[in-house]
Amino acid sequence: MTDDERTNDAWYSFPGAENDVVLSTRVRLARNLANFPFPQKLSGGDGERVRALLFDAFNRVEDSERYHSIFVNQLDSLGATILQERGVLPERAASERNSGIILRNDGRLACTVNIGDHVHISSFASGLDCDGAFSVCHALDLQLQQSVQFAASYDHGYLTTSLLDAGSGMKLSVRMHLPCLSLQGRLRSVMDDMASKGIAVTACFGAGGLNGVSSIGSRGAALGAFYQLTSTNSFTGSEIDQIAVVASSAKQLLEQERAAREECATAMVSDIKNYLYRSIALARYSLFVPLREAIDLISGIKLGNDLKLVNGIDAAGIHALLYRVQNGHLEFVAKNGTFQFEKDIATNTQKKNDRLRALILQEAFEHCILAL
């Protein structure tokens, strides 16, 4: 299937580089229009004018028919939830006046208007692809500048609402799966090392805990050992320099995780088998799967798949599950599908989500075969 044939597929359905450890890459550019106050200081009709100018600028870019503009205050709660789960819309956005979203139909490019800054241009890519994600953002940035003027100065670069974003206006994020570094209790030293390079390491899906599927979660800070590396400022060096720091740090960390996996595959094989067995069992035979449990068991099956202990599903399919099991996606499926829920849960939204989540996991892992 060609890229053109898959143009409407979600970006996370594609395989990516270093997918055994790196889930995805995101690049975000913060920009503000010249001759307008920052969004927090807009008054009168200026907010609407900024939004109108930016929406019109998107009508002039290449392949403009692939972009869709939305007023945030016209989104229903379900639509807002789905966009939040996909990393497009911050939770605070619903309260922002005159805010908007522009989405490309494959979801790889998404822009917010009057949320934090006048515009945030974000590009998503599967796997480790800082250069590719930046090039997509940069190309759109240049096209927009044919229609609007962004605020910048020779000394300080692009001017933004946060001093940490001034300069390039760029923030890079890389999502990674680090179960064996977690299992070895090495995440604290990893975080300290990354902090010394100006990179924050945070949990993607909330904190782990003692009640995880595997007990591995109790040894690390993140649920399912899914972590995000994020650059902490945009003013140190050029865009090329900033990309190099994040990309090299991610590569260093993925090599550490791969080495840890080799060590754990020998020294802690029973722990890993237990994680995998329990994850497969829960995925196949549960009637209800809460979200936190789903993230943890997806982590276990991903680790087993990456260590070639289980076959029958590819990395991209596993990564897509992390979006498919989210509550917003499930409510959308339930609302638009024809599935008939059991009578005793038909009026309970949470139970229906947990039931549908279990069915999605059963279908995804139906053909998994343990290779032990």
pLDDT (tens digit per residue) in 194-242: 999 999 999 999 887 655 565 554 555 789 999 999 999 999 999 999 9
Structure token digits, residue 97: 């006046």
Q: Given pLDDT bands bounded at 50, 70 and 90, which one contains residue 95?
A: low
Kindly report which listed range (4-13, 94-103, 138-147) carries the lowest average pLDDT score.
Answer: 4-13
Which string of b and e fits 281-313 if b means at least 16 CB within 10 Å? Answer: ebbeebeebebbbbbbbbbbbbbbbbbebbeeb
Contact 85, 323 (CB under 8 A): yes
State residue 311 phi and psi, 5-degree precision.
-120, 165
Q: Given pLDDT bands bounded at 50, 70 and 90, which one contains residue 369?
A: confident
Other C-beta atoms closer than 10 Å to the C-beta of 178 total: 26
Separation between Cα atoms, residue 283 and residue 166, nearest integer Å = 45
Do you know the residue count of the chain? 372
User: Taking 70 as the threshold, does the pLDDT of residue 75 lie above it?
Assistant: yes
Q: State how far the alpha carbon of 32 is from the alpha carbons of 29, 49, 113, 138, 182, in Å.
A: 10, 13, 10, 15, 40
Contact 178, 24 (CB under 8 A): no
pLDDT of residue 110: 95
User: Taking 60 as the threshold, does the pLDDT of residue 98 lie above it?
Assistant: yes
Separation between Cα atoms, residue 276 and residue 296, nearest integer Å = 11
pLDDT of residue 335: 87
Q: Which amino acid is at 238?
A: S
Q: Give me the mean pLDDT over the 125-133 stretch.
A: 96
Contact 64, 54 (CB under 8 A): no
pLDDT of residue 267: 93
Q: Give me the mean pLDDT over the 140-154 stretch.
A: 96
The three-state (H, E, C) secondary structure of the chain, written as one string: CCCCCCCCCCHHHCCCECCCCEEEEEEEEEECECCCCCHHHCCCCHHHHHHHHHHHHHCCCCCHHHEEEEEHHHCCHHHHHHHHHCCCCCHHHHHCCCCEEEEECCCCEEEEEEECEEEEEEEEEEECCHHHHHHHHHHHHHHHCCCCCECEECCCEECCCCHHHCECCEEEEEEEECHHHHHCCCHHHHHHHHHCCCEEEEECCCECCCCCCCCHHHHCCEHHHEEEEEECCCCCCCHHHHHHHHHHHHHHHHHHHHHHHHHHHHHCHHHHHHHHHHHHHHHHHCCCCCHHHHHHHHHHHHHHHHCCCEECCCHHHHHHHHHHCCHHHHHHHHHHCCCCCCHHHCCCHHHHHHHHHHHHHHHHCCCCEECC
Share of the chain above pLDDT 90, in %: 74
**Average of per-residue pLDDT values in the chain:** 90
Query: Which residue's entry shows tokens 């099956």?
Result: 301
Q: What is the pLDDT of residues 292-344, one digit of tens each?
A: 999 999 999 999 999 999 988 888 889 999 999 999 999 999 888 778 899 99
Separation between Cα atoms, residue 32 and residue 206, nearest integer Å = 31
Kindly report which listed range (3-17, 122-136, 272-286, 301-315) carries the lowest average pLDDT score.
Answer: 3-17
Contact 365, 304 (CB under 8 A): no
Separation between Cα atoms, residue 169 and residue 93, nearest integer Å = 20
User: Taking 50 as the threshold, does the pLDDT of residue 2 lie above it?
Assistant: no
Note the pTM of the prediction, 2 decimals.
0.92
Question: What is the Cα gyration radius of the chain?
Answer: 21
pLDDT of residue 256: 97
Kindly report which listed range (188-192, 214-218, 360-364) carries the lowest average pLDDT score.
Answer: 214-218
pLDDT of residue 7: 42
Query: Which residue's entry shows tokens 């680790």?
Result: 303
- Which of 110, 114, 77, 79 lies closest to 99 in space, CA to CA? 114
